[in-house]
Amino acid sequence: MSLDTFVKTFRRPFQFREFLEQTWMIARVSLVPTLLVAIPFTVLVAFTLNILLREIGAADLSGAGTAFGTITQLGPVVTVLVVAGAGATAICADLGARTIREEIDAMRVLGIDPIQRLVVPRVLASTFVALLLNGLVCLIGLSGGYVFSVFLQGVNPGSFINGLTVLTGLPELILAEIKALLFGFVAGLVGCYRGLTVKGGPKGVGNAVNETVVYAFICLFVINVIMTAIGVRVLVR
């Protein structure tokens, strides 16, 4: 289904209205979890990092550590959690309900390709929302790290801001966005696949949603590890 989806992404007509509706749906179910997950993660990273830097007399590098951790790991990891836990499950539940009502079979009888009509817009919407969520998490992470470090732990504001670009630049940001793009694409595929292969009625839909979370988490964390390893080798050179 992955290859079929990729090929039919470039085939007309593109379901633009469906893409917009799915983008709004995924963004709506993902926005609040993103905020609720990103802020505690940011506080935890900033608090732990600042304690460590103070112990070694390098508190002025708080901004560098916060930026590097947020851009390279915090943003992608939170995106993994939200996209897999909220976005992919919503896609699976939607398509699973259509499958058990035999709407997918009816579409095939009418000569409508469910991959092009339903899967492609959802996968692209998931990819697009993942890119936006990654940027939002990075923004929240840097802002939250600044507020927590400066106002609660006494880090110098100028030193924090000046340190943001010491370890983090455009290559790290591009790598983070590539991760987010892959996360969204794979999460959308997993949700669509489990939704279209549901069996066993309403209970089967519930089981498929649970399996979607597990499969998506596994796939996305594996991708994160691989992309991080590749990124480290490329960026070090």
What average pLDDT score do residues 124-143 get?
88
pLDDT of residue 69: 82
Task: Select the more confidently predicted residue: 21 or 69.
Answer: 21
Task: Select the more confidently predicted residue: 143 or 49.
Answer: 143
pLDDT of residue 237: 53
As given in the structure block, the two tokens for residue 129 are 């929302």
Q: Within the chain, what is the greatest distance between any pair of CA atoms? A: 70
Q: Model confidence over 113-127: pLDDT tens digits? A: 888 888 999 999 999
Q: Model confidence over 81-94: pLDDT tens digits? A: 888 888 889 899 99
How many distinct helices (H) and strands (E) make up the chain? Answer: 12, 0
Residue found by looking up tokens 């998506």 in the block: 216
* Predicted confidence (pLDDT) at residue 236 exceeds the cutoff of 80: no
Give how many domains the chain has, as a whole number.
Answer: 1
Q: Which of 98, 91, 80 is nearest to 19 (CA)?
A: 91
pLDDT of residue 43: 77
Q: How is 133-192 classified by DSSP, letter by letter?
A: HHHHHHHHHHHHHHHIIIIIH---HHHHHHGGGTS--HHHHHHHHHHHHHHHHHHHHHHH
pLDDT of residue 20: 92
What average pLDDT score do residues 100-123 get?
89
Say how far apart CA 162 and CA 61 lie, in whole Å: 9
pLDDT of residue 235: 66
Residue found by looking up tokens 């994160």 in the block: 224
* Entry pTM: 0.87
Range of the domain at 124: 2-236
